[in-house]
Chain A
């Protein structure tokens, strides 16, 4: 039955080359923890991706309740945390996932760095990876404000002051992020929400696609 459906679609869209391209790639012995346990260091990249997927899914569910305005943001998070069925679990996964993804991407970066895997011809993939790291930090920073509680507001004030220390464009950068030259308020919250939910995830997905396509083109770096 499934085969018949596959053949029906394949006849019309020729999906076999696409599917074989996804499924057929070699996993060399030196990256396989099944053969050498020390190869677990190669898991960190995959786990980063795994947590990212969980972040996207849990974040999608959080936006079903979250309201990005200063009157209701905290109330909606409080409701989500205390009243909504499994709200505590979904919010908890998003909260802890934000930390885990930083830990995993950091370990992955260290693995690649100490193995010298960023050397020719993989310079571009390293740079895309570092950009993904920056985007992740940006997601952590913007997401921290969204519950609109005390630590969120005051940590964001510090963060925006750091951004304002940028030479030449500091003040403009601050206004761009906060929505106002002086006030961290309603406008800041909606901007951070937009950045956290639309701008940075879009950048992240694009960069991740580039990262994965480059790995497939070049293959995993050889053993040391």
Chain B
């Protein structure tokens, strides 16, 4: 390459006027069957990528991504579950000496040591040997860590109530409510709406009234005498109105 004095540039720029040849390297002198990345190997990579993409798309169309009902911070009974690749950490926190007063062990010290060792692996395993069999400590600890992660994930999966988890997250669509119906009017006038909500699906203070499976007589009793945290004497109307209200609530079914 021409350097220094006598160098020619394109215009007043710093681009050299002398063109460099645009020819690929010659790999014939390289050891073994070395290939050029462009275009030989890239074509193979694309074929692998295409096969992978087909599998990926099959997964996508076969299993639509999940969406649970909208977040409700007041629902204290919800059993949380992180995405599957955090399950091992989540499971670790369930053991006696890794939770409660020992939380710092499960949440910080054990994961910190494991991930710290992973990050600093080149400085811990310093010998020149590369074969797994020749570095028993590195291989052994990694296999142990792998086994732990698999075990913890497994334990987390078998101890999780998947049926209950599915039910607790389901999107519940309220029934179509005729707000002009007599039953709804009574529901509104007696103040039931304040706790059980406009759509009758409940709220922070009261459960949903949709699909309760209760008979009209049972509903009458609850409306008058209360149940759980619901105090008695909530219903203040006539017996006839009580009958209509009970009838209205007992017919509500989720769609």
Interface centre among A12, A17, A29, A149 (most CB of B within 10 A): A149
Q: Which of B14-22, B204-212, B241-249 lies at the binding interface? A: B14-22
Residue contact B35 to A70, C-beta cutoff 8 Å = no
- B97: interface (CB < 8 Å): no
Residue contact B122 to A81, C-beta cutoff 8 Å = no
Query: What A residues does B79 contact at CB under 8 A?
Result: 154
Chain B minimum-CB-distance residue to A17 = B20
- B162: interface (CB < 8 Å): no
- A14: interface (CB < 8 Å): yes
Q: Find A158's partner among B19, B20, B82 (CB 8 Å cutoff).
A: B82
Residue contact A162 to B71, C-beta cutoff 8 Å = no
Residue contact A113 to B15, C-beta cutoff 8 Å = no
Once the chains are docked, how many angstroms separate the CA of A91 from the CA of B125?
A: 42
Given contacts A12-B15, A150-B71, A151-B169, contact A130 B119 (CB under 8 A): yes
Query: What B residues does A122 contact at CB under 8 A?
Result: 122
The 0/1 profile, CB within 8 Å of B marked 1, for residues 95-114 of chain A is: 11111101000000110011
The 0/1 profile, CB within 8 Å of B marked 1, for residues 1-31 of chain A is: 0000000001111101101101111111110
- B154: interface (CB < 8 Å): no
Chain B min CB distance to A199 (Å): 19
Once the chains are docked, how many angstroms separate the CA of A179 from the CA of B52?
A: 40
- B118: interface (CB < 8 Å): yes
The 0/1 profile, CB within 8 Å of B marked 1, for residues 187-223 of chain A is: 0000000000000000000000000000000000100
Q: Which residues 112-169 in B have Cβ within 8 Å of A in the complex? A: 115, 118-123, 125-126, 128-132, 135, 138-139, 142, 146, 168-169
Q: Find A118's partner among B27, B89, B115, B122 (CB 8 Å cutoff).
A: B122
Given contacts A24-B36, A150-B168, contact A92 B30 (CB under 8 A): no
Q: Find B52's partner among A11, A50, A166 (CB 8 Å cutoff).
A: A50
- B3: interface (CB < 8 Å): no
Interface set of B (CB-CB < 8 Å, partner A) = 10, 13, 15-16, 19-22, 24-25, 27, 30-38, 40-41, 44-45, 48-49, 52-53, 56-57, 59-61, 63-73, 75, 78-86, 89-90, 93, 103-104, 106-108, 115, 118-123, 125-126, 128-132, 135, 138-139, 142, 146, 168-169
Residue contact B119 to A127, C-beta cutoff 8 Å = yes
Residue contact B22 to A141, C-beta cutoff 8 Å = no
Residue contact B130 to A117, C-beta cutoff 8 Å = yes
Residue contact A149 to B132, C-beta cutoff 8 Å = no
Residue contact A28 to B32, C-beta cutoff 8 Å = yes
Chain A min CB distance to B129 (Å): 7
Q: Find A74's partner among B71, B90, B123, B169 (CB 8 Å cutoff).
A: B71
Given contacts A148-B71, A149-B67, A224-B130, contact A96 B32 (CB under 8 A): no
Residue contact B169 to A150, C-beta cutoff 8 Å = yes
Once the chains are docked, how many angstroms separate the CA of A33 from the CA of B168?
A: 47
Chain A minimum-CB-distance residue to B135 = A116
Once the chains are docked, how many angstroms separate the CA of A150 from the CA of B167?
A: 12
Residue contact A16 to B20, C-beta cutoff 8 Å = yes
Residue contact A50 to B49, C-beta cutoff 8 Å = yes
Query: What A residues does B40 contact at CB under 8 A?
Result: 27
Once the chains are docked, how many angstroms separate the CA of A46 from the CA of B41?
A: 12
- A67: interface (CB < 8 Å): no
Once the chains are docked, how many angstroms separate the CA of A89 from the CA of B60?
A: 7
Residue contact A24 to B71, C-beta cutoff 8 Å = no
Query: What A residues does B60 contact at CB under 8 A?
Result: 89, 92-93, 96
Residue contact B115 to A97, C-beta cutoff 8 Å = no
Chain A min CB distance to B168 (Å): 7
